[in-house]
Chain A
Amino acid sequence: MKKSISLLTMLLIGMTSVAAGLSQLTLSISTQGADYYADGTPVLVGERYLLVYVNQGATFAGIKADGTLVDPEANKIVTDARAVEGAKCGFKAIQYPPEMYPAGGSFLIVLLDTRDNAGAVGGLVAQLGTSAAAQAAAGDSTALPAIQVASTSGGVPALVTDTISARPAVVAKPVITSIKGQGESVEIKVGNVSADALYEVQSSSDLSAGSWIPAAGGTRLQLLTAGGDEVPATLTVPAGDKVRFFRVVVPNSK
Chain B
Amino acid sequence: MKKILTVTLALAAVGWAQGAMAPITGSNEVGFSTVPATAGATQIITVPYVACLSENAEVMLADLVSTNGLVSHASDPSNADQLIVMVDISGDLRYYYYWLQSDVGWTGVETSVMHPDGTTSSVTPTAANAFAVARGKGFWLKRAATGGNAVYVKGEVSGTTPVTPAITTGLNLVGYGTAAAVNINDVTWSGANGGNGNTKTSDAIMVVESDGSLSHYYYFTAPDGWPAAYQELNGKWIKEDYSVANVTVPAGQGFWYLRRSAN
Contact = CB atoms under 8 A, between A and B. Distances in A.
Interface of A: 2-24, 26, 28, 30, 32, 78-79, 84-86, 90-97, 99-100, 140, 142-144, 146, 148
Contacts of A18: 86, 93, 168, 170-172
B20 interface: no
Nearest to A24: B93
A3 B164 contact: no
B87 interface: yes
Contact of A22 (B46, B93, B189, B206): B93
A20 B204 CA distance: 13
Contacts, number: 175
A17 B176 contact: no
B171 A142 contact: yes
A126 B115 CA distance: 30
Interface string B224-239: 0000000000000000
Interface stretch (B132-140, B149-157, B194-202): B132-140
Contacts of A84: 75-76
A92 B112 contact: yes
Interface of B: 42, 46-47, 75-78, 84-88, 92-95, 97, 99, 109-114, 116, 120, 123, 134-140, 142, 161-178, 182, 186-192, 206, 214, 256-257, 259
A178 B185 CA distance: 85
User: What are the 9 closest A-B residue pairs judged by CB atoms, nearest first?
Assistant: A14-B136, A7-B191, A20-B170, A30-B78, A96-B114, A91-B77, A15-B174, A4-B188, A14-B164
B188 A95 contact: no
Contacts of A15: 136-138, 164-165, 167, 172-175, 257
Contacts of A11: 161-164
A86 B165 CA distance: 46
A12 B112 contact: no
